[in-house]
Amino acid sequence: MKKITLLLVVALVISSCSSLGQSKKKKKEQEAAAKAMAQKNAEAQKAKDKKIKDYNQVITKEAKTDDGLFKTHRVADKHFFEIPTKLLGKEMLLVSRIAKLPSGLGGGYVNAGSEANEQLITWERFQDKVLIKVKSYAAVANDSLPINISVKANNYEPTLYAFDIAAFTKDSSAVVIDVTKFYSSDVRALSGLSSQMREAYKVKNLDDSRSFITSVKSFPMNIEVVQDFTYNASKPPVLEDTESISLQMNQSMILLPEVPMKPRLFDERVGWFTTSHYDYSSEALKSDEKRFIRKWRLEPKDEAAYNRGELVEPIKPIVYYLDPATPEKLRKYIKAGVEEWQKVFEVAGFKNAIQCKYPPTKEEDPDFSPEDIRYSVIRYVASTTRNAVGPSVSDPRTGEIIESDIIWYHNHLRSYRNRYLLETGAANPKARTLDTSDEDMGEMMQMVIAHEVGHALGFPHNMGASCAYDVEDLRKPAFTKEFGIAATIMDYARFNYVAQPGDGDVRFIRQMGPYDYYATNWGYRYLSQFKTPEEEVATLDKWILEKANNPIYRFGSQGSSFDPRSQTEDIGNDAVKSSTYALKNLKFVAENLPAWTSKKTNDYEDLKELYDELLGCWSRYVGHVATNIGGVYENYKKPNQAGDVYNVVPKAKQEAALQWLLNNAFNSPTWLVNNTVLENTAYAGYTETFRSVQARFLNRLLSFETLGRLTDGTTLSDANYKPLTFMTQLRKGLWKEASSGQNVSVYRRNLQRAYLERMEYLMTGKMTNTRGDDFYVTSQSDVPALVRGELKALLAQLKVAKNGGVNLETKYHYDDCISRIDKILNPKK
């Protein structure tokens, strides 16, 4: 037994020695491998060190440095950003604007100050590179939830650009990158030339020899880069022989707030521009679409006083600067237009919330630039375009408006002078001139600026506001002076075209209205007692319900093509009555137009321009009535409110609208055919002009959409206006000469042929679906049957009428119409 034990001990000792030897051998192998790896890493580091240099080798003593959000350096012809590592991953807004451009580039609405792109970006470190990543808030989820992993995986952020790290600061607190190539290359996401422009102007490429970085300036919260670019282009908008397009771009990069503004949830019953995202954190069985209103961040300096109901100045007021290019005599009116909103903001508890300042001198602010994102500017553009716009830049996370540039085009005032004369001249002697007073022109400009500022504050057009007032109230001086001519400045209700001669001192120019105060309080009232947007909803909903039954506070979308109360350029709650007054006024103006223009100027240029615009006025008044046919009222509501969202326009109102159109739009427009005007401004084309205008409204009435809505209305109630009733009444009205034995004038003959062409289209055509819906499958609807029945009835009528006591032109016309109808009904004959 002892022998066996001894043998086992010896075996264990031998085994242990063998294992120890193998372990030492393995250790030596591992050490050799580690040494080889270290040597390899050292060699790689040496290679990298050649690429990433010492700070002093990159940012030399010759560098011109500007300190701000990032330090920016210019060394010879290179530009560097020194990005603090603490700012890596921070969200910033990159806004590309056109600073200078050639005349005509992109059409009338592209100008100095136009925004080309807006992107949310972050600067990210990846190995030995820095990336610009473009972020989106289209889809979000709480970081703590597992689904956030999927949201990120299915919304991977594109890399806009990748930079090699050129150096680190000595304390490694910042990375240095060379941004020269990025800002001097044709990066499409920063370019002022859209794909359409590139194609239209046959742009070949950016000419590097004629393109350069003009300046780089760094400020505490933003960096501004100005680029001068010249492109080779075969068909430039001007100076074609140069085959070049030169423009100057301004790239603004601003750090977004570390603590985002508490957003306010959108409610469609109050009009606001919005930003939206899909929230996958929802417990519902789908992602929630959350829409936040776009507004400025107004917070009271003294919260306690604010909560007591006192007027308090905001911590950061909204400040607009006038463009240095603004003509001196117009500046006071623009400033007044901005500050129209001061008293409105007082309803929301803020004093001096919005201000307008004259442009600083070089001594006051040598860095002032309209393109600098720190400044909101009212740009004055030397352009023949007749318009003004009020865009803004907002934080996509919350809807906080960061900056806005309101654009005023130089020729826009001429439009207002013309409209003032045409729409108010009958009742307003001050408007009967081409030399409108500075006071009146200034007030018009003031109100246009107030309208555009409204857009920049977050308000879209409220086209329902002009329907809030009774038509007869618009003829009362006291009412119009207190309430204006529409319930908001945000409607297209520019002038009081209803007031009649002898009504007295009524207001003719629009002004701020009660809806503006209501919507501003709803969106800008600071609610510190609530910590989340969701907690605010009950209070905001209560404010809406308190005003819900008052049409003054109703919001009507501009996008509505079917609600006759939400139309552009209309005023009053009854389109038939308003347009009757309007045409009465327009007839007076038409008679006097030569006396107010050509007889004063001794040329016909203004007469021709105003006569063309007079036809536009007539068309608008007709259009306001036409929308009632097939119309549907839209009232935004929540289920806790009484009544339906959609209601068909009553039958009697639709029939009255049709009769008005037959009497005023589809009769021969003899009063519009002013020989004094036409014989001196146009050698031909009169009849075609009126044919096209009349046919446009006829085609709107005889459209698949209108007939489809009439059909839908019939299914809801037998008391609604039926498509057959409408089409029969329309036919009898358009062809009344055939039943009365009268001759048909050239205007009516043209209109009747337009009717037949439209009926053929309804019989054989297909609806062009521009909205993405599929409401009307026309080949299977009642439309072809209705058309066939109406054409057969007309055919029988014309066969009798052609043998009546009519002139030869009318007889030939009827023969032609009979032939046309026969071909429509029997296309294979």
pLDDT tens for each residue of 426-480: 999 999 999 999 999 999 999 999 999 999 999 999 999 999 999 999 999 999 9
Transcribe 308-362 into DSSP letters: TT--B-BSS-EEEEE-TTS-HHHHHHHHHHHHHHHHHHHHTTBSS-EEEEPPPPT
Most confident range (mean pLDDT) of 47-51, 305-309, 767-771 is 305-309
Tens-place pLDDT, residues 722-778: 999 999 999 999 999 999 999 999 999 999 999 999 999 998 866 554 444 456 667
User: Which tens digits make up the pLDDT trace of 768-827?
Assistant: 544 444 566 677 888 999 999 999 999 999 999 998 889 999 999 999 999 999 999 998
pLDDT at position 712 over 60: yes
Low-confidence winner among 45-49, 404-408, 699-703, 800-804 (lowest mean pLDDT): 45-49
Whole-number pLDDT of residue 14: 46
**Orientation of helix 723-734 relative to helix 783-801, angle to 10°:** 30
How many CB atoms are located within 10 Å of the residue 335 CB? 19
How confident is the model over 477-487, as a mean pLDDT? 96
Q: What DSSP line would sit under 536-583, residue for residue?
A: HHHHHHHHHHHHTT-GGG----TT-SS-TTS-TT--SS-HHHHHHHHH
Which pairing describes strands 388-389 and 376-381: parallel, antiparallel, or unpaired?
unpaired
pLDDT of residue 99: 87
Residue 610 DSSP SS3: helix
Q: How confident is the model at residue 285 (pLDDT cuts 50, 70, 90)?
A: low
pLDDT, the chain, mean: 89
Lowest-pLDDT range of 31-35, 319-323, 535-539: 31-35
Segment of 159-168, 322-331, 383-392, 797-806 carrying the highest mean pLDDT: 159-168
Tokens of 33: 């491998």
User: How far is residue 631's CA from residue 647's CA, in Å, rounded to a whole number?
Assistant: 9
Least confident of 105-109, 191-195, 753-757: 105-109
How far is the C-alpha of 355 from the C-alpha of 345, rounded, in Å? Answer: 11
Q: Which residue has the higher pLDDT, 225 or 153?
A: 225
Angle value at C-alpha 286, between 281 and 290, nearest 5 degrees: 60
Q: What percent of the chain has pLDDT over 90?
A: 70
Residue 173's nearest CA partner among 83, 54, 277, 78 is 83
* pLDDT surpassing 70 at residue 157: yes
Q: How far apart are CA 378 and CA 324, in angstroms?
A: 10
Cα 150 to Cα 250: distance, rounded to the nearest angstrom = 37
Name the E strands within 193-301: 203-206, 212-218, 222-233, 244-255, 274-279, 288-293
Model confidence pLDDT, tens digit, residues 338-392: 999 999 999 999 999 999 999 888 888 888 888 788 889 998 877 777 777 778 8
Q: Give, rounded to a whole angstrom, the gap between the first and last alpha carbons of the chain.
A: 125
- What is the pLDDT at residue 766? 63
Q: What is the pLDDT of residues 508-548, one digit of tens each?
A: 999 999 999 999 999 999 999 999 999 999 999 999 999 99
